[in-house]
Structure 1
Amino acid sequence: MIEKSTRYRQYSDHLVKKFGQKVYKLPVNLPGSCPNRDGIVGRGGCIFCDEEGAGFECLPNTLSITQQIQENKDFFIRRFNAKKFIVYFQAFTNTYLPLPQFKENILAAAAEEDIVGISISTRPDCINDSYLDFLQEIKLQRGLDINIELGLQTVNYHTLTKVNRGHTLAEFIDAVQRIKQRNFEICVHIILNLPWDNPLDVIENAKILTALGIHYVKLHSLYVVKGTALASIYERGEFKIIPLEEYITRVVTFLEYLDPEVVIQRLVGKGPQDNQLFSNWSTSWWKIKQAIEHTLAEKDTWQGKKCDYLNGKALKF
């Protein structure tokens, strides 16, 4: 049951309940690429992705894994007296590496003190049984909490083609099934205002993630980074970003149709600050978060309020 005081299941509260205290993520930025850039499945990458591969808030990837973990850990210890941490392999596609190199990276993170978990960001078409089997061994040997973050962005497979995602919905479903066989938790990234998605797609995003038993969701709005393919079509006026009020409505609708047990890691993201044509309607991310929470309260609605469509909806009479 979602508390009316929050109206959605918040990640920070979840971590405290799970680990008995606050836990902080330590981002790791590794040099890498993506099969959608080097020609394996495509070239140029997703139309919204820049050369940093979502690593713009990370330390330089010239630092070793151990150095990055230690610097980030020292910061959180000084500022928050933090004691427990999750190593977060954030930038690029972290399973798009030869298996021996992937193992070295994970083992380096697992060897650090005060680490309770490892989070690995990747693509649905870069999930393979050999990599998952190794992670399962690490989980059993070290007692670590391991979760996989899958960049999906939308369940609309037509839109996935338009953004040059390089995979379809089928690869995502396959990846989810393989990950769940090992009992790892799954986080999914969704962009709720892609130009080719409409409010029905917002609802279907929530329904499919619910039906597949996803554990965590990260929502973010579309940002337009200079030099990307998306920037070119944006500057030519071939699409318009929906108003902020519409984004807030979409988030509220998404939450209403989402399983109330899914933990929300983020309601809105942050784009690169110095290299963008559009990001969050020139509004601070925390103000948008507050506006979403205010709208939930104003409408007296909450996560899962409309989650009544599974287990034979037509038989509920």
Structure 2
Amino acid sequence: MEPYYKYSAYLRDRYGEKTYKLPVNLPLTCPNRDGQLGTEGCFYCGEQAAGFESEPDESVREQLLELREYIGDRYKVDKFIAYFQNFTNTYLPLNNLKSYVREALTVDDIVEVILSTRPDCVNYEYLQEIKNLVQTVKPEINLTLELGLQTINYRTLQNVNRGHSLAQFIDAVLTARTSDFGIGAHLILNLPGDEMIDVKENARVLSALRVDNVKLHALYLREGTELARQFKAGELEMISLEEYIDRVITFLRYLDPRIAVQRLIGRAPEEGSVFVNWDMSWWKIHDMIIEEMNEREVEQGDFFDYLQGPALNKFQG
């Protein structure tokens, strides 16, 4: 038995069978690149952002059909999620995004649409328009926002030029809830400046906000980014693999056990990068984390005892 609540188990619990995400890339950018908030982007973000695995030169429907056929045949899957993954999807003009979502809804066996975005690109009216579209075309489809938080440490957010605040993340979560969107959050547990106290508070904040799932990444450095420059100049030191593993385990122990975990470490492109996952395969690091948790006899939620007024426990029999 896995010592944490895997996202695959969460999807099986939700949809009754194995369900796979189909990544969709769109031709777009983000406000931290085009001058709305800034021009440099986040100091770790490469030119392709999260979409390095595929090219956005096909239509949404073509991307989904191609992946559905491949993954469905390979893994014997009949239910899928359309995952709009790259850059900031809700930074698109509303009518454009509605057109892309409508296209995704034409593909059979789609049970959910996920929009990956930034916390400062979410508002109630925009989400309501997307929700109304889906309810009109296919009301059985679930909607989820994946929000790039990266860390609750607002000083770190500023230092890596993230361009949004913790308050904006909290606001985005609350706004999405009012529109019946599920919530996913992205975290990078080894951003420069973050310490173990930040790791614990990441788990506490996400648990208090009752997000549905979380995706963990280790920081990787793309050529041409500011953090890559600092690393090559000896101005930035990465934490050790052992420290990263300890941070992941600590995070999980403080995390609400009902929150699904999409991944413990992300895949990253080696070509064009100056640092990726301590020169190890992501799946080897994943297995090392699981092995360490089993050896310590710990699991997700061990330390989930800090909400709902724990100081009042002394008054309860």
TM-score, normalised to structure 1, is 0.96
CA distance in 1, matches of 2:242, 2:122: 36
CA distance in 2, matches of 1:161, 1:16: 38
Residue 221, structure 1, aligned to residue 218, structure 2 = yes
- One-letter code aligned to 1:19: Y
Deviations 1:30-79 (A, max 9, x none): 11110001111111100000110210012x11111111111111111231
Residue 121, structure 1, aligned to residue 120, structure 2 = no
Corresponding position of 2:24: 28
Matches within 5 A, 1:36-51: 36-51=32-47
**Aligned residues between the structures:** 312
Conserved? CA contact 1:138–1:144, under 8 Å: no
Unaligned runs of 5+ in 1: none
Matches within 5 A, 1:277-288: 277-288=274-285
SS of alignment partner, residue 112 of structure 2: strand
Conserved? CA contact 2:207–2:256, under 8 Å: yes
RMSD, matched Cα: 1.0
CA distance in 2, matches of 1:86, 1:77: 12
Corresponding position of 2:293: 296
Corresponding position of 2:70: 75
Corresponding position of 1:251: 248
- One-letter code aligned to 1:109: A
Corresponding position of 1:102: 97
Deviation at 1:175, TM superposition (A): 0.3
Corresponding position of 2:171: 174
Corresponding position of 2:9: 13
Deviation at 1:138, TM superposition (A): 3.6
Deviations 1:238-287 (A, max 9, x none): 11111111100000000011111000011100111211111111111111
SS of alignment partner, residue 173 of structure 2: helix
Tell me the percent identity.
48
Moved over 2 A (4+): 138-141
CA distance in 2, matches of 1:118, 1:153: 22
Residue 62, structure 1, aligned to residue 57, structure 2 = yes
CA distance in 1, matches of 2:134, 2:307: 32
Corresponding position of 1:183: 180
Corresponding position of 2:195: 198
Residue 234, structure 1, aligned to residue 231, structure 2 = yes
TM-score, normalised to structure 2, is 0.96
Deviation at 1:135, TM superposition (A): 2.5
Deviation at 1:139, TM superposition (A): 4.2
CA distance in 2, matches of 1:54, 1:82: 24
Conserved? CA contact 2:98–2:133, under 8 Å: no
SS of alignment partner, residue 164 of structure 1: coil
CA distance in 1, matches of 2:62, 2:2: 37
- One-letter code aligned to 2:19: V
Corresponding position of 1:87: 82
SS of alignment partner, residue 207 of structure 2: helix
CA distance in 1, matches of 2:133, 2:238: 43
CA distance in 2, matches of 1:254, 1:28: 29
- One-letter code aligned to 1:63: E
Unaligned runs of 5+ in 2: none
